[in-house]
Amino acid sequence: MPTPHRLILASASPRRRELLAQLGMDFDVVVADVVEHEDPATDPRVMVAHNAALKADWVAGRHPDCVVLGADTTVFLDGEAINKPRDLNEARAILRRLSGREHTVFTGVAVRHAARGLKIDTGVSSLVEFKPFGDAVIEDYITRVNTLDKAGAYSIQEQTDLIIAGFKGSFSNIMGLPMEATKQILTQDVLQG
């Protein structure tokens, strides 16, 4: 796919890099130097939209002739956002809380092209149901998966059979970048325009 405008992913996430690469687009990575809003009491849709825009705007301000893609993902349960755990003890507590329950994963996506004044923002949600499990499964899971760099302390695509009962909606959204929505935005003349 030709991309006359350079595409930049404003994210340090290896999962977002992997997902964007699956769309067959050439892109560079520039990590935004921003402090994300992570107050668990904030409406998760507002929080992920804010953080995605914050990252995209920061990078677009430094690369005005490029198309910049920013994204942010969080897990939502019992009226609060569950972000990345601070340590393994918090990861264990999060996994205990999610056990046997259904939660929502929200991702905000922001696309910017500063020179053209382009600003596109969207959000996607998916449902994930966890199997009921105890501490033995949690210990097994955290030895196999890096839980510290993931919202909700889990990865939908790693060791799924240990903890995931099922999901509804976009699988790639749960990973951190809703590919369907992202592809639609990027291929509707955004990169060509």
What is the pLDDT, as a whole number, of residue 178?
Answer: 97
Catalytic one of 33, 39, 43, 72: 72
Amino acid, res. 92: R
Domain boundaries, the chain: 7-190
Q: What residues pair up with 113 in beta bridges, in sequence order?
A: 118
Residues 120-172 pLDDT 10s: 999 999 999 999 999 999 999 999 999 998 999 999 999 999 999 999 999 99
What is the pLDDT, as a whole number, of residue 25?
Answer: 85
> In this structure, are strands 28-29 and 102-113 parallel, antiparallel, or unpaired?
unpaired
Q: Which of 23, 56, 42, 192 is nearest to 122 (CA)?
A: 56
**CATH classification code of 7-190:** 3.90.950.10
Q: Among this protein's residues, is 72 annotated catalytic?
A: yes
Residues of the chain with pLDDT under 50: 1-3
Phi/psi-derived region of residue 189, left when phi > 0, alpha when psi is between -120 and 50, beta in every other case: left
d(C-alpha 20, C-alpha 135), whole Å = 35
DSSP 3: -
